[in-house]
Amino acid sequence: MSKETVSTDKQEEAHIMRAVVLQEFDTPLILSQIDKPTAGRGQVLVKVQASGVNPLDTKIRAGKAPHAKSKLPAVLGLDLAGVVERVGAGVTEFASGDEVYGMTGGVGDLQGSLAEYAALDARLIARKPTSLTMREAAALPLVVITAWEGLVDRAQVHAGQKVLVHGGAGGIGHVAVQIARARGAEVFATVSPSRLQVVERLGATPIDYTTTAVDEYVAEYTGGDGFDVIFDTVGGPVLDASFAAARTHTGHVLSALGWGTHSLAPLSFRAATYSGVFTLLPMLTGQGREHHGEIMRAAATLADAGSLAPLLDPRRFTLDTVADAHAIVESGTARGKIVIDID
C-alpha cells in the first residue's frame, strides 16, 4: 500500500464515526459508520463519552412515542456527557476540552448520543459537575430537567412544604426527591417494598403503596390536610390518587405522564391545581432551549455541593450492546439508570 493510499484512508476515517442507527420503528438498532458531524453556528462538537438510557428511548425505538416526532433514520439517545472537541461560530461559553453534559438529541431531527460524536446546540448543555464521573453525569439530564421543571418552575417548592413523590426510587422520582429536599421541603415518596431503603437513604419518608391506601397516608403524614406538592412520575391511576391527596386550596399536582383520561373532580373539589410537564418541547420547537442549559448548570451546582447524585445500575454496556441495555430498561428490572459507555 502506498503512502498516498494510507493518507487518504486516514482522512476518510477522520470524517466518519460509529453510531447506532434506527432505520425503521420497531426494528433492531444497527451499529453503523456514518458521517461525523461538524459544529455549525451556535453549536459545539462533542466527543461523546457516555449516553444515558431512558424509558423514552426504548419507546421511540418501538414507535410508541409519536410525541417525540423522531425522523428516520435516526441516532437515538437523549442524554450525554462528553468533551468539547470544537466550537462553532458564535459560541463563547465553551472551549475545546470542556467536559459537558445535557439532554441534547434523539428526538425530532436532532442527532442523539449513541454515537462517537454529536454536534449540539450550545444552549442545551452545561459544564459537567466536577464531582461526578462521565457515566454519572450522563444519567442525569432528562430526569433532572423533568423534575426541575415540575418542582421548581411550576410548583416553586420551598421550605416548610410537604412534598409527595410517586415512584420515589425511579428515574425521575429519585432525582425529584433530592431536588425537593435541597429546596428545604419535607419529602415523602411512594415506593415498592423492595425499594423502601433506597428512598430512606435519599432522605425521604418511604410509603409502601402496596399496603397503604391514599387516605391512610394522607391522614398519617399530613393530619388529613393533604400534601402541598405531589409529583406523579408513574401516570395512570397514580395521577388519580395524586388528585385525592392534594392539600385543599393550595395543593399542586404535577405529572410527567398525564397521558390518559382522568376526572378532575377530586382536584377541583379541593380547589387545587395541576401542571403537566413536557420536557421535550424546547428541543422540538427550538424555543426555550436556554432554560435547559440553566437547569443543567443549577444541577451541577447541587451535585458538587453533595445534594444530587444519580442511582446507577452497575452493569456496563457499549455501542455493541445497546440492544441489551434497551431490553433491561424495557423489562423494568434496572436497579438505577442504565448508561452506555461510548468512548
Residues 24 and 98 in one domain: yes
Residue 2 lies in a domain: no
Q: How far apart are CA 302 and CA 309, in angstroms?
A: 9
Q: How far apart are CA 112 and CA 106, in angstroms?
A: 4
Residue 88 lies in a domain: yes
Residue 14: CB partners within 8 Å, gap ≥ 6?
Answer: 36
Residues 51 and 149 in one domain: no
Residue 332 lies in a domain: yes
CB 39 within 8 A of CB 108: no
Residues 107 and 28 in one domain: yes
Residue 3 lies in a domain: no
Residues 284 and 136 in one domain: yes
The model's pTM is 0.94
343 vs 322 pLDDT, higher one: 322
- Asked whether residue 84 carries a pLDDT value surpassing 50, the answer given is yes
Give the model confidence (pLDDT) of 149-178 as tens digits.
999 999 999 999 999 999 999 999 999 999
Residues 202 and 322 in one domain: no
∠ at Cα 34 (29, 38), nearest 5°?
A: 125
Residue 1 lies in a domain: no
Residues 91 and 109 in one domain: yes
Q: How far apart are CA 12 and CA 260, in angstroms?
A: 50
Residues 115 and 174 in one domain: no
Residues 16 and 135 in one domain: yes
Give the model confidence (pLDDT) of 118-157 as tens digits.
999 999 999 999 999 999 999 999 999 999 999 999 999 9
Residues 111 and 203 in one domain: no
Range of the domain at 181: 143-276
CATH number of the domain residue 183 falls in: 3.40.50.720
Give the model confidence (pLDDT) of 25-35 as tens digits.
999 999 999 99
Give the model confidence (pLDDT) of 101-120 as tens digits.
999 999 999 999 999 999 99
Residue 60: CB partners within 8 Å, gap ≥ 6?
Answer: 22, 68, 70, 74, 76, 106, 107
12 vs 260 pLDDT, higher one: 260
Residues 315 and 269 in one domain: no
Residues 272 and 149 in one domain: yes
CATH number of the domain residue 106 falls in: 3.90.180.10
Give the model confidence (pLDDT) of 178-215 as tens digits.
999 999 999 999 999 999 999 999 999 999 999 999 99
- Band (5; pLDDT cuts 50, 70, 90): very low
Give the model confidence (pLDDT) of 313-330 as tens digits.
999 999 999 999 999 999
What pLDDT shows up at residue 13? Answer: 53
Residue 82 lies in a domain: yes
Looking at the 3D structure of the chain, how many domains does it have? 2
- Give the range among 3-17, 73-87, 220-234, 309-323 with minimum mean pLDDT: 3-17
Give the model confidence (pLDDT) of 280-310 as tens digits.
999 999 999 999 999 999 999 999 999 999 9
What pLDDT shows up at residue 2? Answer: 46
Which of the listed residues 233, 260, 276 is the one where a domain comes to its end? 276
What pLDDT shows up at residue 9? Answer: 46
Half-sphere exposure of 38 (CA within 13 A, CB side): 5
Residues 118 and 167 in one domain: no
Share of the chain above pLDDT 70, in %: 96
What pLDDT shows up at residue 1? Answer: 45
For residue 336, the surrounding DSSP H or E stretch is none
Compute the mean pLDDT over every residue in the chain, rounded to the nearest whole number: 94
Q: What is the mean pLDDT of residues 2-27?
A: 72
Which of the listed residues 276, 307, 324 is the one where a domain comes to its end? 276
Residue 164 lies in a domain: yes
What pLDDT shows up at residue 4? Answer: 46
- End-to-end CA distance of the chain, in Å? 30
Residue 260 lies in a domain: yes
Other C-beta atoms closer than 10 Å to the C-beta of 194 total: 9
Q: How far apart are CA 100 and CA 125, in angstroms?
A: 6
Q: How far apart are CA 335 and CA 224, in angstroms?
A: 33
DSSP single-letter state for residue 124: G
Which of the listed residues 248, 276, 304 is the one where a domain comes to its end? 276
